[in-house]
Structure 1
Amino acid sequence: MGTAVRNPLVLGLVAAAAVAFGVAGFASSYVTFLLTGAAVTTVFMQSYGLITGRAGVISLCQLSFAAIGAWVVGWANVADVPGGFYAWLPLGGLAAVVAGLVIGLPALRLRGVNLAVATFAFATALDVVFTGIAFPGQDTFDFVRRPAGFTDDSGYFVFTVAVVTAIFVGLWLLDRSRAGGALVEIRHSERAAAAHGISVARGKLTAFALSAFVAGVGGGLMAGQLGVVAAGNFATFASVSFFAIALFVGTNNIEGAIAGGLIGAVFPVIIDALGIPQDLSALFFGIGAIQVLRLGGSQTDLLRASRRRKRQSRAHPPTRESPTPTTRESNVQRTRIQRSGGGAALEVRGLRVRFGALTAVDGVDLVVPKGHVVGLVGPNGAGKSTLINAVTGFTTRYDGTVLLDGRPVDGLAAHHRARAGLRRSFQQLRVPTALSVGMFLQVAAGRKLSRDEVDEQLALFECPTADTPMDVVDVATRRLLEVAGLAAGRPPVLLLDEPAAGHSSTETRLLQRRLAELPERFGTAVLLVEHDIELVRSTCDSLVVVDFGRVIASGPPDEVLADPAVVAAYLGAPAHSPEGNS
């Protein structure tokens, strides 16, 4: 019972019920009407929280989706569609989904300001259309019939709060699913999302569809509240103002969506009472949005982060110990080298990448045998990261062939290569701080992990517990988490781009042991790009050295690192054999 009382979902449902019945029983008609408007606006804020707060997509047309939902509810009311308001409301949401997909498809190739302009243009065009035609029932004053049992103002407020609460529950569940984690990762880094097998295009379309449905439901609720609506209720300028509010308060958080609903509905009334023109309210919201850009986060995001840091400072997290390697751990590399590789997990043939007149990768041949760790080293600018980008599909224009387990993958997009088992990390850390440790592990793995699997993987890499917020985790541990998450997916091939960057000696030793174990423990062959030569020497079965985009040496680590051509490449001295051993 104690656990249930402390559950945030249970507490939220109890609070919603208390507010709904408290207002319905004691508030005046005016206050009830005003708070109903705030609840409807909260639905609009929830739609912004989906599209912008979670997926990071700028949309200035959410009230256009609301207008579609309101129009459908009004039409269903006039046409006396069976099912009443209970059926009309989701019908309006589904109609808005169609519009969300229509605007989402062409917007997939747009970013930032260009996307904002495109959605604003759609909102303006729809505004013109709805201004030219009357909403159903507008001319005849055929008011929308409210749901049975909730026909008076107090009852309709309870109904609206119930809808708002249901949406919050849905979003709460979404945030705890891999799909919700994928949306957050798309917001943080589209490249990292694709590397984890997430379709960025599908994720953005999903965000457009879900947010349009929520906005359409909000429009239907407004039609039920007002009885009859007009184009002015969904003006483009109001949509921009709501976007500014959502950006300022952070409507991806529950408290932010509620605050946004109250601000959007009550603030204009307050400034009107003070004798300030309501049109100036948008100016205040715009200033708030600029403040978000300056601080790097919304008010609720910043408050949540501050509370997490305070809790973390009061806690005493266990220090990572450096256990003495067991006999099994210390002999992992020797055991693997003696074992037959069983064919090539990854094979690269004649790979060539050009950027205009510059040849960044020049006819590279490379094989990563199954059950092996292969090091890819070379001086800065040698073409290592470009080679990985081409192999994993992030550079699409190249000559040559990439084979995964003997099958060519050259025609596959990056996220399809990741799903096929060609996974990678990035030189620049791309771990989203808005996720928990456990959720990031689920997203990076690319498959559903049980709680036991998550806990076991975190313990293996000596990382914080699953419910730890990522923004209180240090950068070095985030890099370990990235490797842990990728390995948990058990891909056939894992390409790691400088995973030891920023690590202490203790963390490097831990990473060394785990990298050596990856083939045996997870069935994963590894291509390791790393500047830490001692880590490479102790972990890798073989080395491939590139310089100026060409392979200059390959073979056992000790032999390759003693090669004069390799020494020359690192020290800048002339070599007798510029081509090396390829």
Structure 2
Amino acid sequence: MNLVDKRGLGTGVGAAILACALLPAVLPPYWIYLAISAAISAVIMLSFGVIVGRAGVMSLCQMSFAAIGAWVVLRLNVAEAPGGFFLWLLLGGLAAVPVGVAIGLPALRIRGVNLAVVTFGFAVSTDIVLNVNPFPGAKDLVMLDRPAPFDTDGGYFVFTVIVFTVLAIGLGIIGKTRLGLSWYELRHSERAAAAHGISVARSKLAAFAISAFVAGIGGGLLVGQLSLVVPQNFAMGQSLALFAVAVMIGPHHPEGAVIGGVFGALMGTLMEKISLPQDFGGVLFGVGALLALRSGLSQTDMTRLRKREVDARKLLKAAEDAKDAEGESATAQAEAQVEAAAAALAEVPARRPVGDAKPLLTVQGLTVKFGEVVALNGVDVTVPEGGVVGLIGPNGAGKSTFIAAVSGFVRCEGAVALDGRQLDRLSPNKRATLGLRRTFQTTAIAPELSQYEYLTIGAGRRLSRAEADELLEFFGCPPGQVPVSIVDAGTRRLLDVAAAIAARPKVALLDEPAAGQSAAESLTLGARLAEVPERFGVSILLVEHDMELVQAVCEQVTVLDFGNVIASGPTGEVLEDPAVRAAYLGAADVPAT
């Protein structure tokens, strides 16, 4: 799976070259000036694309980072520092990074509107400081001279387009790495990201740092355009307006950044041309942002997603046509699937005696309390190496709480050890890194990701196409190019399991993976889970309500009722226990295998 979209890269670079060749030659001076403003705004929009579009953080202070970049460039210019404008521009971007990290620290504890208030407070403070302390060179009118060969307006437009293109390519490459993909997962579920071994703190701070760097570059470019800047160039109102544009358009895609830059540069001129108040443009941006927040996707997200869905549906239809060409009816295919699944379950090897395998995951005396309510009371569970162990119980028995506590999401008492190492004081992402992965009852996968991309997040490394295809085929998922947005809920659960297994952990905690599956699909999943320990080297703790599935694949079963263990041992013996029948199975006679 390539880090670079070659077709998109070629199109983008070609458009940039065309703009550099044509616009300075055909546009009058005023419109070249506006084109420079649009290119600089597009650079600043890229910074919004990182923090708002990808990470989903409500940051309202990007223009403050731009002001830091501008201040550094002007200070170096006044000091006549060596290196010239190109080096100063880079240093301006780097100077904004530690400030971005400092502003990102509150994001580790708060989010949403509260975080927006914090970032807006920084923007207000920056406004106050800049109005009291003017930019370097402002009093003595020490102007910045543009470097050759970009000293003319046309030449400087070419330079800003080059900078934008380089930054867009760089961010595009980062966006395909696990760090960049983790930002999408953070936007939808920080718990899921931590369960995949992602450090939420590092990922968020990296997003703030990179976005601050890009914004600082944008501020330095603005100095090159104007030669001298004033505080009004970085007013907090501009951060608000650009934030609204970012939410509406989606500048984490290069075309969105360009459209946002054009809007930001030309809206005032357009409002003047059609005799409308300047504030009306802000109203339009605000309404568009509200609509985008309601849908959860920006305009460029929706455009790209529709195209990917169209391509994916063609791929799925071709696969269905190939099956139909084999001459089997849908009914015959379903019957064949049930028969194959039943045969696969029948071939599950006999369970080993418990003493034949060493304990891999050991949970002793696990107790979880929510105030006065005891959700789990002294629970002991052991998952042997190479084994599949079940955890069952009625709704509200504490099964999901058990997984949350073992994986580090809920505070608990007791001891949790993985392969002899104590995990009690470790964070969820650290436990995942050490080899303890989990899935969730309700998946929260970013719909704009493809299945290949989601497997990359789960695996913690870049999978080869062959390895990713093997996993998807093994768990019965569609082709990897298919976006998550058109995958049904049952298949998303399977994809979540595939992502957990892709990391090759020591133990995978699967929370009701068969929910939403048909009877035939559940049987097929059972056969696959039975193969996982030998094929992938991953032991499994399975939380499930499907008794047929549990009986078929689990060597041992622990039964919870109101947070207490009422039975534990070999599956057949446990399911015959009268206490288990009374608490969980009711009066129905469920034969044990």
TM-score by length of 2: 0.92
Q: Distance in 2 between the 1:480 and 1:282 partners?
A: 44
Q: Residues 379-405 of structure 1: CA distance to partner in whole angstroms, max 9, x if unpaired?
A: 000001111111000002x11111111
Matching of residue 543 in structure 1 with residue 557 in structure 2: yes
Deviations 1:196-222 (A, max 9, x none): 000111100000000000000000001
Q: 1:326 to 1:473 in 2, by over 3 A?
A: closer
Question: What is the Cα deviation at residue 304 of structure 1?
Answer: 2.4
Q: 1:330 to 1:512 in 2, by over 3 A?
A: closer
Query: For residues 327 and 479 of structure 1, what CA distance do their matches in structure 2 show?
Result: 21
In the alignment, does 2:44 pair up with 1:16?
no
- Using the TM superposition, give the Cα deviation of residue 292 of structure 1 relative to its aligned residue in structure 2, in angstroms: 1.4
Q: Residue 419 of structure 1 corresponds to which residue in structure 2?
A: 433
Cα distance change on mapping 1:429 and 1:5 into 2, 3 Å: closer
Aligned residues: 569
CA separation of 1:240/1:326 partners in 2, compared to 1, >3 Å: closer, same or farther? closer
Q: Which runs of no fewer than 5 residues in structure 1 stay unpaired?
A: 574-582
Please name the residue that 1:376 is paired with: 391
Aligned to 1:501: 515
| Equivalent residue number for residue 81 of structure 1 | 81
Residue 268 of structure 1 and its aligned partner are, at CA, apart by 1.2
SS in 2 for 1:147: coil
- Return the alpha-carbon distance in structure 2 between the equivalents of residues 132 and 281 of structure 1: 29
Q: Shift in Å at residue 467 of structure 1?
A: 2.5
1:337 aligns with 2:338: no
Query: Distance in 2 between the 1:152 and 1:46 partners?
Result: 25
Q: Deviations over 1:140-192 (max 9, x none)?
A: 22222223311100000000000111111012112211111111111110000
Residue 571 of structure 2: aligned partner = 557
CA distance in 2, matches of 1:333, 1:340: 20
**What are the equivalent positions in structure 2 for 1:443-462 lying under 5 Å apart?**
443-462=457-476
Task: Report deviation, 1:505.
Answer: 2.8
> 1:327 offset after TM fit, Å?
12
Q: 1:470 aligns with which of 481, 484, 494?
A: 484
| One-letter code aligned to 1:514 | R
Q: Secondary structure at the match of 1:251?
A: coil
Change (3 A) 1:402 1:545: same
1:64 paired residue number: 64
AA of the residue aligned to 1:123: A
**Aligned alpha-carbon RMSD (Å):** 2.0
CA distance in 2 between counterparts of 1:227 and 1:377 reads: 70
Give the Cα separation in 2 of the matches to 1:126 and 1:343.
Answer: 60
CA distance in 2, matches of 1:562, 1:327: 23
> Is contact 1:341-1:372 (8 Å) kept?
no
Hey, what does 2:545 align to over in structure 1?
531
Normalising by structure 1, we get a TM-score of 0.94
- Residue pairs, 1:294-305, within 5 angstroms: 294-305=294-305
Question: Cα deviations across residues 483-510 of structure 1 (Å, max 9, x unaligned)?
Answer: 1111111101100000111112332233
In the TM superposition, residue 408 of structure 1 has moved relative to its aligned partner by 1.0
CA contact (8 A) 2:85 2:146 kept: yes
1:41 maps to which residue?
A: 41
Alignment of 1:392-431 (within 5 A): 392-396=407-411, 398-431=412-445
Q: Deviations over 1:338-391 (max 9, x none)?
A: 696431111111111111111000110111111110000000000011111110
Find the aligned partners of 1:193 and 1:284 in 2 and give their Cα distance: 35
Task: Rate the CA distance shift 1:181–1:568 in 2: closer, same or farther, 3 A.
Answer: same
Select between 32-41 and 328-337 the one with higher mean Cα deviation. 328-337
- The residue type equivalent to 1:364 in the other structure is V
Question: Do the aligned residues in 1 keep the contact of 2:551 with 2:571 (CA within 8 Å)?
Answer: yes
The code of the aligned residue for 1:537 comes to Q
Whole-angstrom CA distance in 2 between matches of 1:246 and 1:5: 23
In structure 2, give the amino acid aligned to 1:294.
R
Of residues 98-107 and 223-232 in structure 1, the stretch that sits farther from structure 2 once superposed is 98-107
What is the SS of the residue equivalent to 1:288? helix
Structure 2 counterpart SS, 1:554 = strand
Q: 372-381 or 516-525, which moves further after superposition?
A: 516-525
Shift of 1:279: 2.9
SS of the aligned residue for 1:334 comes to coil
Question: In 2, Cα distance between the equivalents of 1:362 and 1:135?
Answer: 63
Contact 2:42 2:261 in 1 (8 A): yes
Conserved? CA contact 1:497–1:530, under 8 Å: yes
Residue 153 of structure 1 corresponds to 153
**Matches of 2:465 and 2:42 in 1, distance apart?**
34
Could you tell me which residue of structure 1 aligns to residue 367 of structure 2? 352
Q: Secondary structure at the match of 1:318?
A: helix
Which sits farther off after the overlay, 401-410 or 440-449?
Answer: 440-449
Alpha-carbon distance in structure 2 between the residues aligned to 1:456 and 1:311:
21
Contact 2:247 2:293 in 1 (8 A): no
Indicate conservation of the 8 Å contact 2:106/2:115, yes or no.
no
